[in-house]
Structures are given as C-alpha cells and as structure tokens.
Amino acid sequence: MTRLTNRLEHDLREIAAGAHPSPSAWESIAARLDEDTGSEVSLAPALPIDRSKRPVWLVAAAAALAVITGSIAVLTGVGDDQPISTAGSDLTTTFESPRNGFSIRYPEGAVVTPAAQSWGLGAQVDDGFDVVETGSTAVFKGTSASEFPDGNPCHDSSLEEIPCGSIDEQVDRYLSQEHLQFDGCAVPRSQQAVITIDGQSGRVAECPNLIEATVVTPGRLYLFTMSHNLSDARAVFDAFTATIDLTPETAISFAAMTTTFVSPTYGLSFKHFDRKGITPAAEPWDPATQQVDSVVRERHFDEVETGSGAIFAAASIEIPNGVSIDAWVDEYVGSPAPRAADGCGVPRSTQAEITIDGQPGRTVECPNRAEATVVAGGRLYLFVMWHQRSDARAWFDAWLATIDLTPETATVP
Amino acid sequence: MATVDLRGRPDPATDDRVAQLDALYRVEYAGMVRLAYTLLANNAEAEEIVQDSLIEVHRRWHDIQKPGAYLRCTVVSRCRSVLQRRKMHPTHPGAELSVSDEASELWDVLTRLSDDQRMVVVLRYYGGYPSSDIAAMLEMPAATVRSHLRRGLATLKKELEG
C-alpha cells in the first residue's frame, strides 16, 4: 500500500498545484464584508438571511452518514410501582414503528415513545429507539438497518479486499461499527441459537441481563435486544418477539428532518436533516425567465443539500391577477417542452393531487426529479427535489409534510 | 457591534473581527483554495467556495471557537455540495485539469469513487488530516471515515495497479 499512498500524495500535490489563488481575493472579501457588516449595523439587506436558523457548527458532528438504520425499544423497567404484565396474552396493543419496518404488541397501560431519529444518526444512539415502558424491570429494544448487506467489497484491517463471508460474519462486522455503540453479548452469530421471528430464521444470544436477537430479511437487518433484571427474561423476550411483524417495506431509510428552516423571503418554513447544507435564496425567483433546472444552480431557491443524494428546493411568487393557475404554471413554471417525454412536462391539471400544509396542490415525478405546486395566500409555491435515490417519493413526501406555508411573511413579490 | 465610519459602514481598521479574519485569510486562503481545487479541479469554484466560507466565518465569528477548523469544515461541506450538483446538473461547470498523464489517470479514478470516498482520500493524502479531523469535517463517525478510506484505496489500488 505504501507505493499507492506515495503516488497518491505525489499526484494530489501535482493536481493541487494547478490552483491559482487570486492575490487580490482579500479585496473582494473585504468589499463583501463591508456590505455584510454594514447591513448588520445600519441597513436591512434586500434578501435578509435568517442567521438564527442556520446550522450550529459541530452540533451534529457525531451523526453518522453511514447506512441508514432504525430502531425500537420497549422499556419495561422505569417507574415500576405497578408492574404491567408482559405475559403473552396481555400483549394486546399494537405499536407500528414509524421508521423501522416492524410492529410489535405491548401490554395495555404501557407508555410508547416513537423514535425521533434513525439509529446511528441522532446525537444519541437512543434517539433512534421507539420506547415502550411497561413498568417491569426490563428494556426491550429493536433496530433495523437498510442496505444490508450493501453489496460493497469487504476489507480487512490492512485494507486488503477479502471475501465478505457468511451473513453471520457480515452481521458481526456490522454490529461492531463504532458509531452504533452496540454492546452485545459478544457471541459470534454463527454460534448463537436459532430463533424464529415472524417466520424468519434468526439468531439469539443470552448473557447476564441481556438477550439479543438478529434477523435478516432481503435488504434489511433487524436487531432486537432486551436488557433486564428478570428471572424469566427469556420467556418475556419470547413473548414480545412472538408478536413482531416484520414489514421492511414500511421502513424509512432516511434520517428524520428535525431542524426548522424559516425562509427569509418566500413565506414558508420546513424541516430538514441538519448537515449544514441549507442555503437561502440569493436572488428572487422569476419563473418567466428561469427554468426549473437552472434555479438551484443560480441560487434562486431556498435549498437544502441533504448530503444523501438529494437536493430540496423551495420558492414562491405572487400569482398575477386573472390567470388560470394551471395554465400559468404550465406556461411559466412547468418543465420545458423538451423534457415532456420524461414525465415532468405533463399539464398541471392532470398531475397527481397532493396536500401541503392543508392546501390542495399537484405533484409530478420524472427521472431524478419530483415537483409539487400549491397555492396559498395568492402565492404559488414550488417545491422540487433532484435526487439519485430509489426511495425519492417517500423522501419528498416526508419533506413536504414538514412544510408550513406562511404567505403573509413573504418579503418578495 | 462593529465600529462604523461616517457613511455608516464598518471601519475595517477598528473592526476586530475583520482584522482577525484578515489574519485567518493570510494563513489559510491559498491552502484552502488548493484543497478545494484538489476536490473539484475548478479554480473559479474553489475560490468562490473559500471566499464564501470566509464570509461565513466572519458572520459567525463570535459563535465559533476555532475559526480555522470552522473554515475547513465549511469549505469541505461546500465542495461536497458542488460534487453533488455536478451529478444532478450535467450542465454544471465541471473539472478543468492540466496535469501529467499519471496524475490525470489518478483523477479519473478519483472521479469514479463515491463522493465520500473521494473526499476522504483527498483529505487524508493531500490534506494530511487524521480520521478524527476528517470525521468532523464530513460529519460522520471516524469508523465510517476509515471504511470509506479502505474502500476508496481498494478501488484505487485495483484501478491503478491492476
């Protein structure tokens, strides 16, 4: 590897030498600082940037960009004044995980707290756990990871490519990832006992105060654990797992959008997953002269670079008096005619219906792009997502669901 | 609040932030442009990114503890966005490179890596940053950085040394 890394260092230095930093760059920066600080001191900028909503550095530095995962926990050990029976016959209430692709039954009276984030992506690993508190002394957890196995080559610690090995070995390697902070029984999966969960064969291990089980379905790894202080823990664990339905098709393989962005110009707000990729519009959007595909490049939209193969963009504009919304959108906002064949050039009146913040709108999809339009307070709102994701529709819908339309706060026509 | 001159504009001579930013600029600007260029191979984009990042540092000066680290993080984040834009907008300005055949070959293989692998490799072998620093810049766990590095190097080895 030394020869390769030596070459890397040499060739990258050669590439870097092609850069020509301008000797007068400071003049340009200083001029912008004058404008910037001058605005802060005495003038309101034409397009004010809502700095209070911009991301805080390093708050999410621990968030993983690795394979998206999700999880659930059933807590049965907090505040156990009145223990709730976890006998199989008492597990009567169904909880459907909002992110993790399974459901489980729990006893009536238990307290359920859905996961706030996907496993491994929150500030705390436990952010990704749905929690059910039943009042006895045990904590039941479940987790699922998408793109497992991910199909990429496997490597040993010296960077040599190695056979990925059996599913058992891949599960062991996956769970040993540092950012997952999984502290299990440390029994190789291949040596664990067999368990069946929802008809799927898995593995289970027991160690003091902990039981863990893993199941692999096509494309998804599930992990269920229960930490406990019970003499009949295995029976409780089996009672819970017997109620599990694995529904990988319902799992969400992207991070929860928890950071709110308030547009300084367009009369809207939305949530996003904070990876510092938010950029407010630099110039107002003018659909009469700007095609949809150019607005992001030229920064006419509020924009979120998700860092996960998708860009969200949003803008709004006053609707001229007396126009037909559909006709106006088709003429000025819709995709240009040459792309009609790819699916985004369809008339708005024939597009699918959608509701955004309670307002009826329209949505259309075409390769690598989804669009939605909605009218509120005399303004047309356009939302676009460019992407390279197979789950783009679900992601677009999740983003649209976070949108608040506030046309009264718009500061541009 | 900044001191202002008679026209209501900040006086750079007395604006502490500007003076400190000037010092940061002198230390970091050229290096950051080269780093951004090594990721993007486009001088105009590299300069724009670093200048925008310095403006961002200035705006947040009182909120950040390590302006140099913040600048690097912001530059890298913006480079990542440009790489993503290039994929999604084929008309977006691309790379413009004039180097030896060997370096050109390396660049071609780098562009075929995933964005994360490419950035990790460049930050490690051009920037010389340890995994922990790269993890902070890319906002991913150090273990993931190492994973990207392993995979990126494996591909480079296969393609370049076949």
pLDDT 10s digits, A133-176 = 766 677 788 888 877 776 666 766 555 667 888 999 989 988 88
- B62 near A51, Cβ under 8 Å? no
- Determine contact: A46 vs chain B, CB below 8 A: no
H/E run at residue A395? helix A392-400
pLDDT value of position A195: 96
**C-alpha–C-alpha distance, residues A375 and A319, integer Å:** 9
Best A29, A36, A182 member to test B by mutation, with max B CBs in 10 Å, is A29
Chain A residue numbers with beta carbons less than 8 Å from the beta carbon of B93 are: none
Taking alpha carbons only, the member of A309, A275, A255, A266 closest to residue A403 is A266
Contacts of A4 in chain B (CB under 8 A): 153, 156-157, 160-161
Write the DSSP string, A28-51: HHHHHHHHHHHHHHT---SS---G
B68 or A205, greater pLDDT: A205
The H or E element spanning position B82 is helix B67-88
A309 chain-B contacts, CB cut-off 8 A: 84
Q: How high is the ipTM of this complex?
A: 0.88
Question: b or e along B69-86 (b: 16 or more beta carbons within 10 Å of the residue's beta carbon)?
Answer: ebbbbbbbbbbbbbbbbb
Q: What is the mean pLDDT of chain B?
A: 81
Q: What pLDDT is attached to residue A232?
A: 86
Interface of A with B in 296-315 (CB under 8 A): 296-297, 305, 307, 309, 311
Among A residues 314-353, those touching chain B with beta carbons less than 8 Å apart: none
Between these two residues, B26 and A26, which has the higher pLDDT value? A26
Q: Is the dihedral of CA A45, A48, A372, A121 positive or negative?
A: positive
To the nearest whole Å, the CA of A61 is away from the closest chain B CA by 5
- Interface probe for A, chosen from B139, B144, B159 (most Cβ of A below 10 Å), is B139
More confident residue, A279 or B105: B105
| Chain B contact for A27 (CB, 8 A cutoff) | no
Q: What is the pLDDT of residue B127?
A: 82
pTM attached to this predicted model: 0.53
- Ordered per-residue pLDDT tens for chain A, 413 residues: 567 888 888 899 889 888 888 888 888 898 888 776 653 322 222 222 232 322 222 222 222 223 334 445 555 444 434 556 666 667 888 999 988 989 999 887 777 777 777 776 666 667 777 777 766 677 788 888 877 776 666 766 555 667 888 999 989 988 887 667 788 899 999 999 999 999 999 999 999 889 999 999 988 899 998 888 888 889 988 999 999 999 998 888 777 788 899 999 999 999 987 665 688 888 888 877 766 655 555 678 898 877 666 788 999 999 888 888 888 888 777 655 444 445 577 888 999 999 999 999 999 988 778 899 999 999 999 998 887 677 788 889 989 999 999 999 999 88
Six-digit token pair at A95? 């909880």
Give pLDDT tens digits for A176-187: 876 677 888 999
Q: What is the dihedral of CA B135, B141, B143, B144, to 10 degrees?
A: -80
3-state class (DSSP) for residue B15: coil
B141 has a pLDDT exceeding 60: yes
Residue A113's DSSP bridge partners are A131
Q: Is the peptide bond before B130 cis (omega within 30 degrees of 0)?
A: no
Amino acid at B83: L
